[in-house]
Amino acid sequence: MRHRGSTIEELRASVGLRIADEQLLRTMAAGLDDVEELLRDTARSEVQAVHDAASHLVEAGGKRFRPMLTLLAGEFGEGNHSDVVIAAAAVELVHLATLYHDDVMDEATMRRGAPSVNARWTNSIAILTGDFLFAHASRLVSDLGTDAARILAETFSELVTGQMRETVGPGEGEDPVDHYLTVIAQKTGSLIATSGRFGSMVSGAKPDVVTAMQRFGDIIGTAFQISDDIIDIASPSHESGKTPGTDLREGVRTLPMLYALADPDSDPRLVELLAGPITEDDLVEEALTLLRASTGLDRAMVTLSDYAQRARTELAPLPAGPARDACESVADYLVARTR
């Protein structure tokens, strides 16, 4: 189990969450410690191969944004800390399970600075490990009641539908931008929406607060992906800590690219480059230069700002205080991190 002091420092620098209140900071740090312990317990297995594969990503860490939002949403109710921790661990298990499956589909070799499970072992092991974590998430949530179990099942359906939509692509006559926004709402927004919903629901928050946290999570989840899309194009690696152009190399058409392609005045060379994956470094740099000069990046920024404002609006039913301030900071951060 991690030392609480180190968790507090992680929270201070956490993506999106700017917590000024010391008491809330301590509460969140203690909750995250409990979540980490439950995640490790859940990943344990008497079968060594299962234990090694299931623990791989748990031990690799990560932002833990979904459990943090669950814990934060729990501050709007009257407690039952243990149930909020269970809910927080469950949503993180679902997230981790999707990463195992995504790495197989994307033929990834690295995840969170370590070899991906499919690369270290096999695709079959990665798929089965994801299934193992999905099963344990369902087991945890079953202790929270039938409503929670139903919500998680509906979230599974949204996640899979989003992945299917992405894999198949837009249908004939379907607007590519609308298709993309729907995909990321289902693939990313749905689980973050459930995080906010679970935390407030199991802590006994009022129905309007539960609805607000669900809607806030849905919008913020989609906005996070748009923010990442922008950063992958606009931010140099020394600022973002990531290698720009990853989406270009993988042939993924993100929102700024789709907006650029929809512009009738878009540079023909850019249209040519965006026809498929780009493998050569000099071509990636050329595409990044053209994208940075295109209308696509500006339009994506406008869309991101709109989502951030919508997210803040959803927080209106929440009582004033440090927890609400922390939620508002997420919306502010999404825009600020792209500038």
- Do the Cβ atoms of 102 and 108 come closer than 8 Å? yes
| 237 half-sphere exposure, CB direction, 13 A CA radius | 7
Tens-binned pLDDT, residue by residue, of the chain (339 aa) = 444 455 666 666 665 677 778 899 899 999 999 999 999 999 999 999 889 888 988 888 778 999 999 999 999 998 778 999 999 999 999 999 998 888 887 776 666 567 787 877 888 888 999 999 999 999 999 999 999 999 999 999 999 999 999 999 999 999 999 999 999 999 999 999 999 999 999 999 999 999 999 999 999 999 999 999 999 999 775 454 567 898 999 899 999 999 999 999 999 999 999 999 999 999 999 999 999 999 999 999 999 999 999 999 999 999 999 999 999 999 888 888 887
245: its two tokens? 């152009």
Helix (H) or strand (E) holding 286: helix 281-293
Q: Could you write out the DSSP letters of every residue in 15-47?
A: SS-----HHHHHHHHHHHHHHHHHHHHHH--SS
State how far the Cα of 327 lies from the Cα of 314, in Å rounded to an integer.
10
264: its two tokens? 């009738």
- Do the Cβ atoms of 134 and 126 come closer than 8 Å? no
- Do the Cβ atoms of 267 and 307 come closer than 8 Å? no
Whole-model pTM? Answer: 0.92
State how far the Cα of 85 lies from the Cα of 70, in Å rounded to an integer.
8
Q: What is the length of the chain?
A: 339
Which residues of the chain are in CATH 1.10.600.10 domains? Answer: 1-156, 206-339
CATH topology of domain 206-339: Farnesyl Diphosphate Synthase (1.10.600)
Helix (H) or strand (E) holding 306: helix 295-314
State the SS3 of 99-132.
HHHHHHHHCCCEECCEECHHHHCCHHHHHHHHHH
**What CATH number is given for 1-156 in this structure?**
1.10.600.10
State how far the Cα of 70 lies from the Cα of 17, in Å rounded to an integer.
12
Q: Could you write out the DSSP letters of every residue in 207-261?
A: HHHHHHHHHHHHHHHHHHHHHHHHHHHHS-HHHHSS-TTHHHHHT---HHHHHHH
